[in-house]
Structure 1
Amino acid sequence: MIINVKVKLRSNNSRLEKISSNEYLAYLSQPPEKGKANLELIKLISKELLVPQNKIKIKTPTSRNKIVEIL
C-alpha cells in the first residue's frame, strides 16, 4: 500500500490526520536533522495504522510531501 503524507515540522505535539483514503497530514515535533523527523514519522504511522515499523519505507526522505510504502 502506498500513502502520501504531507509533513508539518516543529509542531507542539505529534499527530497524524487522515485527509482521504491514501492521503495524510503529519504534524511532527522533531527537527529535520539526521533523520529524526523521518524516524518520528515512521513511529507515528506504525502506531496509528497498527503496522510494524520495519514494514514502513519512506520513498522521498528529503521532501515534505512524502511517499510512504507500507509492505
Structure 2
Amino acid sequence: MQKRVKAKLNSKQQKIIEELDGSLTVHLKSPPVDGKANQELIKILAKKFNIPKSNVTIKSGASSRHKLIEIHVDT
C-alpha cells in the first residue's frame, strides 16, 4: 500500500492525522538533520500499522516535507 505523507517537523508531540483524501499528516519531534526525521517517520508509521520498520520505505521525497511511503502489510 502507498500513502502520501506530509511531515511536520520540530513538533512538541508526535501524532498522526488521517486526512479526508486518505493521506497522512505526521507531526515529528525530530529536526531535518542527518535523516533523523525520516527515521522517526518510519518508526512511528511502523508502530501505527503494527509492522516491522523494515516494511516501511520512503519511495520519494526523502528530503521534502511531502513524501510517498510504501507500506508492506502482511494480509
TM above 0.5: yes
Task: Give the letter aligned to residue 39 of structure 1.
Answer: Q
Offset, 1:22:
3.5
**Unpaired stretches in structure 1, ≥5 consecutive residues:** none
Say how many residue pairs are matched.
71
> Does the residue aligned with 1:10 lie in a helix, a strand or coil?
coil
Per the alignment, residue 46 of structure 1 pairs with: 46
1:34 counterpart residue number: 34
Runs of 5+ consecutive residues of structure 2 not aligned to the other structure: none
Give the structure 2 partner of residue 69 of structure 1: 70
Q: Match of 1:16?
A: 16
RMSD: 1.2
TM-score normalised by L of structure 1: 0.92
> How high is the TM-score relative to the length of structure 2?
0.88
Structure 2: distance between partners of 1:70 and 1:22: 14
Moved over 4 A (4+): none
